[in-house]
Chain A
């Protein structure tokens, strides 16, 4: 009986279109002598963040939602660029009538610090040398990414975000936002994420980094102007891709299907799963910088929200409402890690909703289980937006 109710309400979701052609924008700050002081103690500046926005900021500035991307994501979260047939990475969730309804909310997404899609990262020009930073780029953390985003949000004139949301690394940023700027965050949606990177997660990242660094084209990170370490980066992406899927999603997608249905070649990609990994690895190197991969995976590995304090101390000041989502078959960010977030919310007296979605897609589910996520996000946002409107009118 409950099933039909849920299905009906999911079916009520109207077919919706994507946002029309839109553009990427850039914001530059932290010019000398006001460089950003990083977690490592090093200074970095000037910093440019690439960002996109969708929808309109209301007059009270209470409808802003910051969407935070995962390892290989970018600022292009929704819609299509003119002449491009590929939509943004979370287009199914962001747009008119969608979960993050751009008719109601103002959605912001920026490329992370250290990235390679318009924001300052190791492939950006170092003003001191007029040549890409390479390994001269300082070590960055999730906290540094969030500190940089704070400058962008200030620049956009937003005092308090209605919601910070993201999956995987995006979820870590969302949690870091709530911990670092509790007064600026009204609600948090961490999806398939963790309070700290586990040894297993670090281990997979290290294999990826070693693949890049053992590629002779990597040249200590100074490959700009020459051949990039494409083979190493492709292998790193292949490892990553395996961890994003599940045993059953791979079986379902590829089975044991083999090219031409017979044994033939010597170690060419024959199995469908091999061909898929090669295809995605080769595509990834066209759009991603190997050094960014090194820096960002390291930022992930450093991530530990407690940062020397107890988690209760970290969460004590947070008043935001939480919607925590995890996926049963996710073995890279297992559900116990999301339950830890729920646990600390309960201990800190934070209102939290937790849903463990019965998906077989593994970690990738956060980009694929659109129906369930839409249902949860839509109603959660409605609730917190009402709460925000009441609080705002109470204050004046």
Chain B
């Protein structure tokens, strides 16, 4: 079933709409791609799992054994309602208990820019998981560049929707930054996907840093 929705087949306009048969409402583009990447019957740890939407999708459709870590108490109630196992914890501290490679996948989707020590969390994730999914808003998207360059202001965009004084994002990184990081740390990039918030896929790797609002990577040691 997973191959049917793989990236090759989704070289169309909006990935969000392609997977509508999975759920009644269109899937978030990142959820759709991550869902396609995860193999059946795998074990998954989602760091910053929010209300468990992605995890519960993976549990239902991929028969995954799943665990979440989430800092927001209200989101915990929602996760438990969905039947998920979730720890009410800080990602910065919640990983040391897990043994090496205790999960097939560790997911860090839209959370790496919010942790205190991204480097430590990434390394811990690569220790705990055989593969790690990392998704983040691309700070070098042209709309951000435009706002900095012409308006001289900290960018507020649809993927970075916060004013400087209220943002939960502690770190700002671009797709190029992340690829550099992986190269320097000898981290293997297994898959990549670049897309806008409405699910438009950016086909070219070269200009992704300029054209994509979001980057999604599957990495391993």
Contacts and interface: CB of A to CB of B under 8 A. Distances in A.
B173 to A, nearest CB: 26
Given A2-B72, A6-B78, A354 B88 contact: yes
A185 B80 CA distance: 20
A321 interface: yes
B99 A376 contact: no
Contacts of A39: none
Contact of B85 (A2, A9, A352): A352
A56 interface: no
B76 interface: yes
Contacts of A383: 83
A2 B78 contact: yes
B88 A6 contact: no
A347 B74 CA distance: 26
Interface stretch (A122-130, A195-203, A243-251, A355-363): A355-363
B38 interface: no
A390 to B, nearest CB: 13
Nearest to B93: A339
A321 B85 contact: yes
B51 to A, nearest CB: 6
Interface string A325-354: 000000000000001001100110101111
Contact of B51 (A2, A343, A353, A354): A2
Interface in B82-125: 83-89, 97-99, 102
A90 B200 CA distance: 54
Contacts of A351: 67, 85
B136 to A, nearest CB: 21
A5 interface: yes
Given A2-B72, A347-B99, A349-B102, A375 B89 contact: no
A219 interface: no
Nearest to A344: B97
A355 B79 CA distance: 11
Interface residues of B, number: 23
B77 A6 contact: yes
Contacts of A357: 73
Contacts of A321: 85
B74 A379 contact: no
A379 B73 contact: no
A356 B73 contact: yes
A339 B87 CA distance: 9
Interface of chain A, helix or strand or loop or mixed?
helix
Contacts of B89: 339, 342, 354
Nearest to A353: B85
B21 interface: no
A372 interface: yes
A284 interface: no
Contacts of B23: none
Given A342-B87, A375-B81, A382-B83, A355 B76 contact: yes
Nearest to A372: B77
Contacts of B85: 321, 351-353
A29 interface: no
B80 A379 contact: yes
Contacts of B72: 2
A3 B74 contact: yes
Contacts of B88: 354-356
Nearest to B77: A6
B97 A353 contact: no
A346 B98 contact: yes
A6 B74 contact: yes
A235 to B, nearest CB: 37
A351 B45 CA distance: 12
Interface string B56-69: 00000000000100
A357 B51 CA distance: 16
B73 A355 contact: yes
A5 B78 contact: yes
Nearest to B76: A355
A380 interface: yes
21 contacts: A2-B51, A3-B74, A6-B74, A6-B78, A321-B85, A323-B80, A342-B89, A342-B97, A346-B87, A347-B99, A351-B85, A353-B79, A353-B85, A354-B86, A354-B88, A355-B76, A355-B80, A356-B73, A356-B88, A380-B80, A382-B83
Given A2-B74, A2-B78, 15 more contacts: A6-B74, A6-B78, A346-B87, A346-B98, A349-B102, A352-B85, A352-B87, A353-B85, A354-B89, A355-B77, A356-B73, A376-B77, A379-B80, A382-B83, A383-B83
